[in-house]
Amino acid sequence: AQSVTQPDIHITVSEGASLELRCNYSYGATPYLFWYVQSPGQGLQLLLKYFSGDTLVQGIKGFEAEFKRSQSSFNLRKPSVHWSDAAEYFCAVGALGAGSYQLTFGKGTKLSVIP
């Protein structure tokens, strides 16, 4: 069965600093990988996804992520963080389960931004 690990529960960065959120997955085949963002009291919004091809994928809000098969990682990056990026971020891996494709989510990383 697939699994996702987000090693950092909480990260604090200064506004304007760069950001990298870590995600490691476990899956036997080529994974479908996703990053979602959740603002407090809201649902999850898709930031970006990787299915195949170019291992560096661009998403919304200036985020990007790089798929590294050798490291089983799909880290999320942003060169300059804005205060509005404060939220919780979830990495997910998709796989075919019992009759449907399903996403398995990590436990999330909460991002705080210092002005």
CA dist 38 and 58 (Å) reads 18
Does residue number 34 form part of the binding site for other proteins (CB under 8 A)?
Answer: yes
Q: Identify whether the C-beta of residue 34 lies closer than 8 Å to the C-beta of residue 94.
A: yes
In single-letter form, the type of residue at position 102 comes to Q
Does residue number 41 form part of the binding site for other proteins (CB under 8 A)?
Answer: yes
Give the distance from CA 1 to its chain's centroid. 19
Does residue number 60 form part of the binding site for other proteins (CB under 8 A)?
Answer: no
Does residue number 100 form part of the binding site for other proteins (CB under 8 A)?
Answer: yes
Least distance in angstroms from the C-beta of 6 to other proteins = 9
The alpha carbons of the chain give a radius of gyration, in whole angstroms, of: 14
Q: Which is nearer to other proteins, 49 or 77 (CB)?
A: 49
Candidate list 28, 43, 53, 115; residue touching other proteins; CB under 8 A: 43
Cβ partners under 8 Å of residue 76, min gap 6: 19, 20, 21, 23, 35, 47, 48, 63, 64, 65, 89, 91
The stretch among 35-43, 56-64, 69-77, 78-86 that binds other proteins (CB under 8 A) is: 35-43
The stretch among 14-22, 44-52, 61-69, 78-86 that binds other proteins (CB under 8 A) is: 44-52
Q: Identify whether the C-beta of residue 76 lies closer than 8 Å to the C-beta of residue 35.
A: yes
| Residues at the site binding other proteins, with contacts judged by CB under 8 A | 9, 32, 34, 36, 41-46, 49, 51, 90, 92, 94, 98-103, 105-108
